[in-house]
Homo-oligomer: A and B are copies of this chain.
Amino acid sequence: MTGRDGGTPLAPIGNSPVVILVRPQLADNIGACARAMANGGLFHLRLVAPRDGWPQEKAWRLASGADRILDAASVHADVAEAVADLHHVLATCPRPRHVIKPLLTARGAAAELRAICARDLRAGLLFGPERAGLDNDDMARADALVRYPLNPEFMSLNLAQAVMVMAYEWWMSADATPPRALMTNETRVATKAELDNFLTHLTAQLDACGFLRNLPKRPGMVRNIRHLFERGEATEQELRTLHGIVTELAEGRRQLGREEGG
């Protein structure tokens, strides 16, 4: 299998948790789960007693290219068999009741899974069937439960959405992207000297055309113009464009002056 960007093989990098779908009903959902997993860098799928049997062609159609995850999925008779070789198991559970167990957020779970996998232990994540969710015996086999903080007035994730949130948090738990950056490799943020240079050019032209002729107000007006441009994090390229705009507008004005005067 190759990634959507073409060429690069999609392969597990290091140790990652196993996603275990317990008694899933619809093959569509199994396929959509595989797609969600691939997005978040989860590659190991196990199915416990899928209702309509396995394999099913429909799953591959919904996987949007995450075929290798489905190809390698194993089928198990029950949760005990599916977790037998694992060291640590978390069970997702939107509404835990009467279970005395540590309860993790999705983010907390991702951090713990990351730590467990870094110790070369094998971890698994249980997801229950579409309607009923995991039963009490399934949950008893887990080290901890996972409940996503979401709108308590409307908690209704489908199976693939539930896997998506966990896969996303798994990926994020090792991600170092800055929350805000300037997107470009064609230019760069302008330095303060470059911005000053443009503002000097602009101010000179505004003096020349008479826009700043009210001398008592001039310092405040110049400052207000500076405020706007300092806020916008202009790039070096954009400043060159602005230099050009100012020059052209001023030139047009001069030519117009000559024509009118001539």
Which residues of A line the B interface, CB within 8 A? 3-5, 8-10, 32, 35-36, 38-41, 64-66, 96, 98-108, 111-112, 144-145, 147-158, 160-161, 164-165, 168, 171-172, 175, 177-184, 186-187, 233, 235, 237-238
Q: Which of B4, B100, B183 contacts A186 (CB 8 A)?
A: B100
Set of chain B residues within 8 Å of A164, measured between Cβ atoms = 157, 161, 164-165
Q: Which of B65, B112, B155, B158 contacts A154 (CB 8 A)?
A: B65
Cα distance A65–B5 in the bound complex, in angstroms: 36
A39-B156, A156-B64, A179-B104 known; A168 vs B171 contact (CB < 8 Å):
no
A36-B161, A107-B172, A164-B164 known; A4 vs B102 contact (CB < 8 Å):
no
**Inter-subunit contact A41/B156 (CB<8 Å):** no
Set of chain B residues within 8 Å of A38, measured between Cβ atoms = 151, 154, 156
Number of copies: 2
Residue of B nearest to A98 (CB): B186
5 contacts between A and B (CB under 8 A): A10-B153, A40-B150, A41-B150, A100-B182, A105-B178
Residue of B nearest to A153 (CB): B3
**Inter-subunit contact A151/B171 (CB<8 Å):** yes
**Inter-subunit contact B148/A168 (CB<8 Å):** yes
Q: Which of B105, B172, B177 contacts A177 (CB 8 A)?
A: B105
